[in-house]
């Protein structure tokens, strides 16, 4: 194979396309594309870092392939690329925009008869995060011609004015620490552990997004950011991200405190701006990296949310902090009833009874007990129907504690003082069904609970206590009847059990049998003998 002569060596800081463009100017005095066509190399194959294009260019030029391939950005698929083991999307590169340092190019061409053969497009200039020349500490210039081959970054094709390269910008600016980190990482150096633990693009994007909120506030839109603003954002974000997870969490909290918002309409975006908008976008195709679950956990811990609300791509299954209004909406209960019950139980202050439900905040787990009560509350007025019992029988069940009111609060504002736990009621009925055998026909010696109380002149509360303690061995259930209406007991068995209080009998039942009010047990104990008091 014929080789190009004389040899133009590849420079370690340039791209394969830059070397090809210099070779075109060196060997033909012309442009890149015709030169590659003459060599049988496709421009875009070389741009994509394809092995065949790199190998042919190196072979014809007499150049060792390894250093050229080392600087080749390789296309992996649709808008996905790799460089030196790092993977990233097209947005990590400058795309059709050519960035350059005029001072670097002026030094390249100093004393050269043909400057075009000396201008090198540095590899780092093709990275979107590189905005400042690390050598001359000036902002890079950008050019986009609007032509089909802008992506070749052919410096020789730029519309240079006479002596334009001899005069650079006057502003002096050091490269951002984020830029230095990216360049060093691509060179094989290690950096902050938290950033090194994720993709290079993920770290850069997260740093710039967080830094933008820090530097410009939550109201700043990414679409309105200039390159100088992104550079400033990278600097602001680096001070946090380089310190790791603890510093990031602290910054999240600072941003939350800094945000000025109506408590009734608090939303994560009001505190985290474009950072939150980026990670919650419905068309997000790239994994934002470790910052996304970190921010999600922080929001769950600090911001009022609704059950089922989509937060950074997934629904909130168990909100940790929320307003009474949002908790009620997520649990499908009435907000004012929930508010009053929470106040009754001390989960919120009594003064919150008058506050709008959307302005009262608490941790979600502090509301679980009240939510459970509301969801399973059964009005006492419905118990006769559900239990198959008379009103006196329901009163007796409440008296002995077989069923308990959901709250002891008797305030007129609380409907819960007139309800019982539906789960407790269901457990009571199931216990009756499991413990009492079923009979097809009513035995002649057995009667209903109400009849037994009437015949034996015994309180229903006494009979029910004995039944629940398992002391009525002949008790059973009549098939075809429901609830307590199906329970049959033997009056004679009840009478025999009531002869005297027995060892193992509850103090409450003993007091009832002896004719005392259980609520006045302390007084009643003074009236019994020491032997009876020990029962």
Joined tokens for residue 535: 């029962």
181/217 same-domain check: yes
Give the separation between CA 451 and CA 463, rounded to whole angstroms. Answer: 11
Q: Which domain holds residue 69?
A: 16-160
- Residues, the chain: 535
Position 280 pLDDT exceeds 70: yes
**Type and span of the H or E element at 361:** strand 361-363
151/40 same-domain check: yes
Of 260, 280, 297, the last residue of a domain is 297
Position 386 pLDDT exceeds 60: yes
Query: For the chain, how many helices (H) and strands (E)?
Result: 25, 15
143/98 same-domain check: yes
> Poorest-confidence range of 15-19, 291-295, 455-459?
455-459
129/250 same-domain check: no
Residue 52 within a domain: yes
Residue 359 within a domain: no
Residue 105 within a domain: yes
- Find, among 109, 104, 128, 1, the residue nearest to 55 by Cα: 1
Please, which pLDDT band fits residue 519 given cuts at 50, 70 and 90? low
Give the separation between CA 464 and CA 436, rounded to whole angstroms. Answer: 13
Residue 198 within a domain: yes
Predicted local confidence at residue 266, as pLDDT: 66
Predicted local confidence at residue 74, as pLDDT: 98
Average the pLDDT over 384-397 and give the result: 91
* pLDDT tens column, 144-177: 989 999 999 999 998 865 445 544 555 689 999 9
> Tokens 């302005």 identify what position?
359
120/90 same-domain check: yes
Of 254, 282, 297, the last residue of a domain is 297
154/183 same-domain check: no
201/272 same-domain check: yes
Residue 472 within a domain: no
pTM metric for this prediction: 0.68
* pLDDT tens column, 92-104: 999 999 999 999 9
144/194 same-domain check: no
């Amino acid at each position: 194979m014929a080789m190009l002569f004389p040899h133009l060596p590849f420079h370690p800081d340039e791209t394969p396309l830059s070397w090809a463009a210099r070779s075109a100017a060196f060997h033909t005095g012309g442009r890149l594309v015709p030169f590659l066509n003459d060599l049988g190399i496709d421009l875009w194959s070389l741009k994509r870092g394809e092995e065949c294009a790199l190998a042919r260019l190196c072979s014809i030029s007499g150049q060792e392939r390894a250093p050229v391939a080392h600087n080749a950005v390789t296309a992996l698929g649709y808008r996905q690329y790799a460089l030196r083991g790092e993977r990233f999307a097209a947005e990590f590169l400058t795309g059709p925009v050519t960035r350059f340092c005029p001072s670097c190019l002026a030094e390249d061409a100093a004393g050269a008869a043909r400057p075009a053969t000396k201008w090198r497009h540095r590899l780092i200039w093709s990275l979107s995060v590189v905005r400042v020349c690390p050598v001359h500490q000036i902002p890079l210039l950008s050019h986009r011609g609007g032509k089909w081959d802008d992506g070749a970054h052919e410096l020789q094709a730029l519309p240079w004015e006479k002596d334009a390269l001899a005069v650079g910008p006057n502003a002096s600016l050091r490269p951002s620490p984020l830029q230095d980190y990216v360049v060093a990482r691509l060179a094989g150096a290690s950096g902050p552990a938290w950033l090194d633990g994720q993709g290079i693009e993920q770290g850069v994007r997260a740093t710039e997004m967080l830094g933008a909120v820090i530097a410009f506030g939550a109201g700043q839109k990414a679409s309105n950011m200039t390159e100088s603003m992104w550079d400033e954002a990278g600097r602001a974000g680096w001070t946090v991200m380089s310190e790791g997870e603890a510093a990031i969490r602290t910054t999240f909290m600072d941003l939350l405190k800094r945000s000025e918002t109506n408590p009734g309409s608090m939303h994560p975006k009001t505190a985290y701006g474009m950072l939150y908008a980026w990670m919650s976008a419905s068309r997000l195709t790239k994994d934002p990296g470790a910052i996304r679950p970190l921010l999600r956990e922080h929001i769950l811990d600090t911001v009022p949310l609704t059950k089922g609300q989509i937060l950074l791509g997934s629904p909130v299954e168990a909100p940790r902090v929320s307003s009474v209004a949002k908790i009620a909406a997520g649990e499908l209960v009435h907000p004012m009833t929930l508010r009053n019950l929470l106040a009754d139980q001390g989960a919120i202050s009594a003064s919150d009874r008058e506050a709008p439900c959307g302005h009262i905040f608490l941790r979600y787990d502090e509301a679980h007990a009240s939510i459970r009560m509301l969801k399973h509350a059964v009005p006492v007025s419905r118990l006769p129907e559900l239990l198959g019992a008379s009103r006196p029988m329901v009163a007796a069940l409440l008296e002995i504690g077989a069923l308990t009111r959901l709250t002891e609060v008797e305030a007129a504002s609380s409907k819960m003082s007139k309800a019982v736990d539906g789960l407790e009621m269901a457990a009571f009925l199931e216990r009756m069904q499991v413990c009492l055998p079923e009979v097809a026909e009513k035995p002649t010696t057995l009667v209903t609970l109400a009849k037994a109380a009437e015949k034996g002149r015994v309180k229903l509360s006494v009979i029910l206590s004995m039944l629940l303690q398992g002391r009525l061995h002949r008790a059973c259930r009549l098939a075809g009847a429901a609830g307590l209406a199906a329970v049959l007991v033997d009056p004679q068995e009840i009478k025999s059990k009531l002869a005297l209080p027995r060892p193992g009998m509850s103090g409450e039942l003993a007091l009832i049998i002896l004719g005392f009010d259980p609520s006045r047990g302390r007084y009643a104990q003074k009236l019994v003998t020491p032997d009876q008091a020990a029962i």
